[in-house]
Amino acid sequence: MAMGAADAVPGVSGGTVAFISGVYEQLIESVRSINPGLLLTWRKEGFKAVWQKIDGNFLLTLLAGIISSILLLAHVISYLLEAQPVLLSAFFFGLVSASVLAIYGEITDRSWKTTVALLAGVILMLLVNQLLPTLDTSNPLHIFMAGSIAICAMILPGISGSFLLLIMGVYGDVMHAVKSFELMTMLWFVSGCAAGILGFSQILSWLLHRFHQTTLALLTGVLIGSLSQIWPWRQVVSYKIDSHGRAAPITHDNLLPSVYEQLTGMSSQMVPALILMILGFALVWFFYRQADK
């Protein structure tokens, strides 16, 4: 459910939550095992063998939590993004900051390779909003493409699938489809997600097995780069207009709290924001320390 809540927020990654909670590599391996070879396993050994091979109990429980969370929290997250953007961003900034330290602590090989990978991750995240096209949600293939791109980000710590949807100009339409239960839009999007995650999980699993430390460093860099996207005190620089005519902010300038108040005329809410930031950091650090036990 925490992964689903994170995936609903632009700038926050469900993959980060999976990494923090210690289920990340199990998730990748479980998804990777879903391939055409399962049909042969079904014929020879039956459904029980297939279920065990994909770690079905784990995968079904996790997906149930993610889907139910998105359906239940779509309205709440949308409201908080509009009503309390500073406080919500502050809480998630604390979460991701602690995640950076937690994942970096898993890197035991501090060589030039991991340093280069970490810097590459930072640069990749800073450039990501320049690399994606604007999609038209009236075209089913564009919805499919958006789902396949977003789901790859959703299983990567640090890269927010919903933020990529925002950049592609389809976030508002996808959230509207979930809230209004528009079946055709949801079907195309989910189909894209399925295709994307089945393909990308193979690549990610291979990287984690062959270049585990370098991949961790790359993911850490991506997390560091993502911090600029969820800094609480921001001024909108540019928008994209979705197919319903709604303005969706995609580019921001990060500001100091005092400058934010001067430029926007709104309260920085500095004290409650810092409290939530510390709370988010402490929450992740607590779970990370407990994971060792």
Q: What is the pLDDT of residues 170-184, one digit of tens each?
A: 777 787 777 777 888
DSSP 40-72: HHHHHH-HHHHHHHTTHHHHHHHHHHHHHHHHH
Predicted confidence (pLDDT) per residue in 38-97, tens digit: 888 888 888 888 898 888 899 999 989 988 887 887 677 767 777 888 888 888 788 778
In the chain, the percentage of residues whose pLDDT exceeds 70 is 85
Higher pLDDT, 129 or 52: 52
With tokens 């994909």, the residue in question is 54
At 271, list the tokens.
């004290």
- If one compares 179 and 220, the residue with the highest pLDDT of the two is 220
| pLDDT mean over 185-192 | 88
Radius of gyration of the chain from its Cα atoms, rounded to whole angstroms:
19
CB 170 within 8 A of CB 163: no
So what's the pLDDT on residue 275?
94
Beta-carbon contacts of 43 under 8 Å, excluding residues fewer than 6 positions away, are none
Question: Over the chain, what is the mean pLDDT?
Answer: 80
Which domain, by its residues, includes 199?
2-291
Q: Is the pLDDT at 208 greater than 70, yes or no?
A: yes
**Sign of the C-alpha dihedral computed for residues 254, 87, 168 and 217 taken in this order:** positive
d(C-alpha 5, C-alpha 76), whole Å: 10
How many domains is the chain built from? 1
How many Cα neighbours within 13 Å face the side chain of 271? 0
